[in-house]
Structure 1
Amino acid sequence: MRACVVHAAGDLRVEEVPDRAPGLGEVSVAVELAGICGSDLHYWRHGRVGDFRLREPLILGHEVIGTVVDVGPGVTALAVGTSVAVHPATPCGACAECRAERANVCRHSRYLGSAAQTPHVQGGFSDRLIVPARQVRRLPPGLAARRAVLAEPLSVAVHAAARAGNLAGRRVLITGAGPIGCLVVAAVAAAGAEEVVVTDLLPEALAIATEVGATATIPVDGTSASDRSDWPGDFDVAIEASGAAAALHTCVGQVRRGGTVVLLGLLPPGEVPLLGNIVVTRELTLRGAFRFDHEFDTALALLADGLPVGPVVSATLPLADAPSAFALAADRSRACKVLLDLVADR
């Protein structure tokens, strides 16, 4: 079968890879659409994501929808022909985190298209994907594929919003209007935030943030804006969704006393400056937000209910054109979320 494989930084190939039949408790999904994530771009451009470094060829992709085409022994709840979304995480179910219902930070979790472990966990940019049946969700009736494929990144956004606490009537700052940042906008707006202010370097990204629910946008230049006098300031919550150290600096400097900062974007490897004294003297709460768990089902329901996220999807290209699709996805002035269509040229 065909797959999009990264071999090293800058070395992305569409090539033939072995297929297999599903085993006990597994299903085989014919992938239809898959979204290119920021982590996929990092593996392609840098050979790593944060502290996760490529050590062997890796099939990328973890934002996947498709159709069940085969089931393994013991699978009775899913029939061939069922349209599904795939939850990309396989937690161990036994560690302290899993037992505490925090499977998203399971210390032994396997995640599609990730180099966090060796051997790496091969991802979903392939004609067929075999996963445990428990990771497959039926698509809600009437949910279009182009919306359903956003379930995974929207789950990340929903989890980040939940980590911020009760958002009803709150003033929220979001730094970064990439695909995740824009989906965070939609998620916090759906959670009842009264004001949603978004920052980014690019006007094109800010325009999409406005379309999905931002009440105001602020262009920035890549440096910390904590000392700017023209900022609205005193936000109840700030969610850092860009992965830039300067943006984290801004978040800490712009929340009110006793406010909350959620760290969502993965920062560059190594240490980054932090306004620690402000955290202390204003008694700020810093919370990490990593992946998601049950929020995947919440995201599918929100998409089925019409959450306004359509503007996030910029383009769809066939799998054979994956290198061009990655180049487009990396150009934030031209695209937000880029999808791979695995049916168009199958």
Structure 2
Amino acid sequence: MTENLGVVAHAAGDLRVQALPEPEPTADEAVIAIAYGGVCGSDLHYWLHGAAGTSILRAPLLLGHEVIGTVERAAADGSGPAVGTPVAVHPGTPHGVDGVPYPAKSPNLAPAGTYLGSAAHFPHCEGAFARRVALPTRMLRILPANIDPRDAALIEPAAVAWHGVARAGDVAGKRVAVIGAGPIGLLAVAVALHHGAATVVATDIAAEARERALALGAAAVLDARESEEIAALHADVVIESSGTVPGLHAAVDAAGRGGIVVMLGLQRAGDIDFPAAQAITRELDLRGALRFNDEIDEVIAALADGSLNVRGVVTHVLPAADALEAFEIARDSAASGKVLLDFRT
């Protein structure tokens, strides 16, 4: 058996590929041999800053929540799929807090919810960037055989985009603008097109990112600095996926009167500058979007039947042993879309 290599953030600027103990599953956990893991923005933040928003590293953290793999050892209690079954992973677990209500239909809003590879709570919730990990069977989703594994590695971020687009309601026949053409923005383009948007226009600073959006089917792309052109979009729906203050301003600018702005990109913690007067006088509907719920199952079905096109979103695949190089590539949005780690090598 090969060494169980994992990708662990120890502190800001301290990312290590190191040997991990073999997983010891509980009765309702299966051991998963991870095939691919996608590098997410939160992974980059833990590496670069030792924190992702208000989630601060207080101990070494095994990163990774965008993973697919194969069941290597089935759960002892008989739950979950059999050995050899390819699976995707839903990385969230809802947990409530007494006195803090949340909608039952929205477990993603549970106030003490955990997520694989997150330092939001302590002890941290360990991730799945390792050759072998033990995961609860409730997290596992069986992968149809006809989904390309590299496409399957996009299931988790595509579910985030699916949830974000769904927060806008029915986008069929509507003009949609996507602010930011990083991996989540690209997937938002793909999902909006899947849902029947009349046109999708994407913006980004990087020309390479704009080209990727065009290849996915965006009707047009704009340089994010072209403020007049963005303001002339008069979009029915705007998906803000950059998670930046300028991106949020651009989203308000891009929205037509009475339009909907979905804040999909996570803004930094604390107060930020926001064009409230413009949002009020246009009667814009501002909606947050956090992770996802059961949309992962819809994404899997859409990939299986070929109706969701994600080709070109993955731009790089590197061996897990080269994780530091992969993270360096992933931090450069001009150089890369989604970067995958291959844990099979």
Q: TM-score range by the shorter chain?
A: over 0.9
1:78-131 CA distance string (max 9 Å, x none):
111111111111123798767621011111211000111111111111111211
Matched, 1:18 2:18: no
Q: 8 Å contact 1:22–1:70 — kept in the other structure?
A: no
Q: What's 1:8 paired with?
A: 11
- Secondary structure of 2:312's match? helix
- Secondary structure of 2:187's match? helix
- Secondary structure of 1:311's match? coil
1:120-178 CA distance string (max 9 Å, x none):
11111111121110110110131121111110000000000000111011111110000
What is the TM-score normalised by the length of structure 1? Answer: 0.94
Matched, 1:310 2:345: no
1:250-275 CA distance string (max 9 Å, x none):
11122122111100111123211111
Q: What's 2:163 paired with?
A: 159
Q: What's 2:185 paired with?
A: 181
Letter in structure 2 aligned against 1:252 = V
Aligned-pair CA distance for 1:20: 2.9
Q: What's 2:341 paired with?
A: 340
Change (3 A) 1:28 1:229: closer
Higher alpha-carbon deviation: 10-19 or 173-182 = 10-19
1:295-345 CA distance string (max 9 Å, x none):
01111111112222120001111111000111111122211111000112x
Aligned-pair CA distance for 1:21: 2.4
Q: What's 2:134 paired with?
A: 130
Structural mapping, 1:41-56, within 5 Å:
41-56=44-59
Change (3 A) 1:278 1:145: same
Matched, 1:323 2:294: no
Aligned-pair CA distance for 1:71: 2.4
Counterpart-to-counterpart distance in 1, 2:255 and 2:335: 31
1:20-79 CA distance string (max 9 Å, x none):
321121111010111111111111111111111111111110011111111233224411
Counterpart-to-counterpart distance in 2, 1:230 and 1:335: 24
Q: 8 Å contact 1:93–1:99 — kept in the other structure?
A: no
Matched, 1:202 2:206: yes
1:206-241 CA distance string (max 9 Å, x none):
0001111211100123xx82xx26743311111110
Counterpart-to-counterpart distance in 2, 1:138 and 1:86: 9
Letter in structure 2 aligned against 1:69 = E
Q: 8 Å contact 2:230–2:250 — kept in the other structure?
A: no
Change (3 A) 1:94 1:119: closer
- Secondary structure of 1:28's match? strand
Q: 8 Å contact 2:172–2:196 — kept in the other structure?
A: yes
Aligned-pair CA distance for 1:17: 2.0
Counterpart-to-counterpart distance in 1, 2:102 and 2:34: 29
Q: Alignment partner for residue 218 of structure 1, among 212, 219, 222?
A: 222
Q: 8 Å contact 1:97–1:105 — kept in the other structure?
A: no
Runs of 5+ unmatched residues, structure 1 = none
Give the length in aligned residue pairs: 340
Counterpart-to-counterpart distance in 1, 2:96 and 2:68: 24
Q: Alignment partner for residue 37 of structure 1, among 12, 33, 40?
A: 40
Q: What's 1:296 paired with?
A: 296
Higher alpha-carbon deviation: 301-310 or 71-80 = 71-80
Q: 8 Å contact 2:28–2:79 — kept in the other structure?
A: no
- Secondary structure of 2:248's match? helix
Runs of 5+ unmatched residues, structure 2 = none
What is the TM-score normalised by the length of structure 2? Answer: 0.94
Could you say what the CA RMSD is over the residues aligned between the two structures, in angstroms?
Answer: 1.7
Counterpart-to-counterpart distance in 1, 2:229 and 2:336: 32
Counterpart-to-counterpart distance in 1, 2:142 and 2:278: 46
Change (3 A) 1:54 1:94: closer
* Percent identity of equivalent pairs: 46
